[in-house]
Chain A
C-alpha cells in the first residue's frame, strides 16, 4: 500500500497553531514521523493561503524537504500557491492534489503538472458535483479527465484518479458505489490508471472514537477490489495491521482472518456473510455492524454500534 501521509492538514488545531508560529520543527518532525511509519509520500494541506501563499508554500516545502526525501503532495486549491511550491521542490517528483473535471480547474492544473513534471490526482467530480453511481464517476474519468490529459500530452503514468470517498454519516449511499468505482476504474483504460482515495473521509462527521474502525473496515473492502494507494494516517497502527494482514494474506489470528474474508468477499462482488463473524466476540460484532453501514444495508447513526 502506497500511503500518502495525511497528517499535515490545516484542519488540525496543532497544524494551524504551528503554521501561525512558523514552527519549522513541528512540520519537520511530523513529516519524519509519517515517513518512518511507512508513508511513501507526504501530503501538505495548508489551505488556499490566499494572502500569504507566496511566502508560506516555499517555506513549508523547503522545511519538509530538509528532513525527508519522499514525494510531497501539494494539496491546495490555490493554483499560484501550487506553482510556488513546485518551483521550490528539489527532491522527489511531486504530486499535485488535485484537479477535478470542472473546466476551470482542468484547464489550469494539469498544464501546471505537465510543466513541472509532477504527478496529478484527478477527482471524478464535474461542475454538477459528485455523482452517486459508480459508473457515472468512471464516466467522468474516461470521458473528461483522461481525454483532456491526453490532449495536452500529459504522461499518463503520472495520472492518479481519485473517485472520492464520502462520509458514511450523511452520504451513506455513496459508500458502496465508491467500492464499485475503484474496481471499475482499473478496467476503464489501458494502461490502467493509478487510483488513490482519501480513506478517512469515510468517517468525517463520525464521533472520534468510532472513526478508526470505520476506516479499517472500509480499507479492507477497498483493498479487496485492488486499492494500492491512499491518502491516510500512516501512524494508525491498527490500520497498518489490516494492510499487513491483507497484503500477506495472513489469517493466523481471528481478526486477521476476518479482515481477509471481508477483502475476499468484496473482491468477488459479494457481501460479507454473517456466518464469517463470531458475534459473541465484541470486536467481531462491531466489525460486522460496520460492514452493514458501509454497504448501506443498515442506516448509519452515531450510536450504530450500540444498536
Chain B
C-alpha cells in the first residue's frame, strides 16, 4: 500500500536578507550572502526546498584577544595580531562572511582602519560588532558605518537598551543590523517592532535570539528559535526574519573547550573536545533554523559546513 507523507503548507515565510554589496551594487565585495526565504520548518526538503544554504561566519577581532582559549590562539597564530591577515586566513578556512569584533581599546580611527583593512584583505561580506558597551559601541560603529557607506555591512549588536544610534546609522549608510535579545520570543519580536518602527526595512535585520552552548542552556536557545520560526511560518510578520547565533563565542566560553588542565582525565583529548563542543553546539542550532552561524575554529567551520551540505541534500 503506498503511504502518503502528510505535508504542511504554511501561510507565512521568512524574509530574504542579503549582506554585502558588489561593485555593481555600490560596494566592493566580491560576492554577497543571502539568507532566509524558508517556507517550511528546517530541512523538510520534501515539503519545500530550503532556498538559501545557511552560512558560516568566522569571528575575528581588531586586536589579539587575551581571553580566548589557547587552542584558538595556537590555530590562528600570528594572524591574530593583524585583522587583515586574520580575515584572509578565515576566508581560506571556508568562511562565507567575516565577523570583525572591535574592542574597548580601539579609538574611532582604529576601528575605521581595522574595518577598511579587512575589507581590502577579503572579498567576503562583513559583520562588525562593537565592543559591547553601549556608549563605546555607538562611538565606534557610527564612524565605521559612515566610512563604509553602501557596503551593506551588518552592524551589531543592537539590543533593547541600545539600538537607536546603530539603527539610525545603518539607515543613513545603507547597512544592516543584528538585533539581539536574551533568549525570549516576546523580547525578540518587540525589538524587531522597535527597529522597524524607526524606519529600517525588515529585510535589513537579522535577529539574534542568543543561545547557550551545549550543556549551558542550548535547549532554551533551541526552543526559542523553533518557536520564532513557527510563528514566522504562521504569518507573524515581526518574526519573519532570518536568525543568526554565535555558538563559537558560547562554546569556547565553556570550561570543556576553553581549558585543558584541571579537568577529569575521562574528558579525553582537549583539542578534539573543544572542536566537538563548538561543532555540536552549532549543528544543533542549524537544525533549529539558524541561517547564519558565527564560529571561531577553522576545523569546526569545516565540519559544520559538511553537516549543512548533508542537510541540504534533497533526494
Contacts and interface: CB of A to CB of B under 8 A. Distances in A.
Interface stretch (A3-11, A57-65, A237-245, A298-306): A298-306
A19 B194 CA distance: 40
A299 B194 contact: no
A303 B190 contact: yes
A301 B184 contact: no
B193 A300 contact: no
B197 A299 contact: no
A211 B193 CA distance: 19
Main SS at interface, chain B = helix
A302 B190 contact: yes
Given A297-B234, A299-B231, A306-B197, A172 B186 contact: yes
Interface in A280-307: 297-304, 306-307
A169 interface: yes
Given A172-B186, A307-B237, A299 B227 contact: yes
A300 B238 CA distance: 10
B231 A298 contact: yes
A16 B231 CA distance: 41
Nearest to B187: A301
A299 B193 contact: no
A291 to B, nearest CB: 14
Given A169-B186, A307-B193, A301 B238 contact: yes
Nearest to A293: B186
A303 B239 contact: no
A170 interface: yes
A303 B236 CA distance: 13
Nearest to B238: A307
Interface residues of A, number: 13
Nearest to A302: B190
B153 interface: no
Contacts of A307: 193, 237-238
Contacts of B237: 307
Interface in A150-174: 169-170, 172
B228 interface: yes
B254 interface: no
Contacts of B234: 297-298
Nearest to B228: A299
B308 interface: no
Given A169-B186, A170-B184, A170-B186, A301 B228 contact: no
Contacts of B311: none
B33 interface: no
Nearest to A206: B186
B185 to A, nearest CB: 5
A299 B184 contact: no
Contacts of A299: 185-186, 189, 227-228, 231, 236, 238-239
13 contacts: A169-B186, A170-B184, A297-B234, A299-B186, A299-B227, A299-B228, A299-B231, A299-B238, A300-B189, A301-B186, A301-B189, A302-B190, A307-B193
Interface of B: 184-187, 189-190, 192-194, 197, 227-228, 231, 234, 236-239
Given A300-B186, A301-B189, A302-B186, 19 more contacts: A169-B186, A170-B184, A172-B185, A298-B231, A298-B236, A299-B228, A299-B236, A299-B238, A300-B189, A301-B186, A301-B187, A301-B190, A301-B192, A303-B194, A303-B197, A304-B189, A306-B197, A307-B193, A307-B238
